[in-house]
Amino acid sequence: MSSVKLAIIYYSSTGTNYKLAQWAEQGAKETGAEVKVLKVPELAPKEAIESNQAWKSHLEETKAVPEVKLDDLEWADAIIFSVPTRFGNVPAQMKQFLDTTGGLWFNGKLVNKVVSAMSSANNLHGGQEQTILSLYTTMYHWGAIVAAPGYADPVTFAAGGNPYGTSVTVDSDGNMKEDVEEAVKFQAKRTISIAEKLK
């Protein structure tokens, strides 16, 4: 059987969700999956980015990361999303990209894609779970198969216990408060495992 094709699609203003995407990539590659790490286009005005040094630096550091295209969704057997929370929902950058998928959806090109999601926030109850669930709502409309980690492995508890998808709290200096690396890798491997069964 050919290896699972995984697209890891993220939005990150200062780097947290990019780091989660990189850990997911590592976990997926350990299974032999073919992986693409892709960012959604930045929509924020230049003035907002210029006024935040961490945001500006991260944008510069990741300028070589390719932007996601609709063809990447069609290519993928599985998709992992990584996004920060914005008022309990996905950031506008990710939402704008998702809103362009109507043609693929209409033509049934997203049915049975295996999907999973991760999130981050500045405080423990800042909407991490709700952001993941909000994203999954779109996935249900796609006809995708949601591969949440649940409590299938103890690493979920060590990472804070979010069964919907790995989430992390980040302080004002950009430091992750929970140790989520192994939970992210497990989530990626679980997503690949389910996609393999479907494929």
Mean pLDDT of 33-50: 95
Mean pLDDT of 12-27: 97
Q: Say whether pLDDT at 1 is over 80.
A: no
Mean pLDDT of 25-42: 97
The residue ranges of every structural domain in the chain are 5-198
Helices (H), the chain: 16-29, 46-50, 53-61, 70-75, 92-98, 102-106, 128-142, 155-158, 181-198
DSSP bridge pairs for 169: 121
pLDDT value, residue 124: 84
111 backbone dihedrals φ, ψ, rounded to 5°: -65, 135
Range in 20-24, 30-34, 67-71, 171-175 the model is least confident about = 171-175
pLDDT value, residue 2: 66
Question: In CATH, which of 3.40.50.360, 3.40.50.970, 3.40.630.10, 3.40.120.10 is domain 5-198?
Answer: 3.40.50.360
Mean pLDDT of 171-186: 94
pLDDT value, residue 172: 86
Tell me how far apart the alpha carbons of residues 35 and 154 are, in angstroms, rounded to a whole number: 25
At 168, which amino acid appears? V
CB 68 within 8 A of CB 38: yes
Mean pLDDT of 20-29: 98
CB 12 within 8 A of CB 24: no
pLDDT value, residue 173: 87
- Tally: H helices and E strands in the chain: 9, 6
Mean pLDDT of 34-41: 98
pLDDT value, residue 53: 92
Q: Say whether pLDDT at 188 is over 70.
A: yes
Q: Say whether pLDDT at 5 is over 60.
A: yes
Write the pLDDT tens digit of every residue in 75-93: 999 999 999 999 999 999 9
Mean pLDDT of 19-35: 97
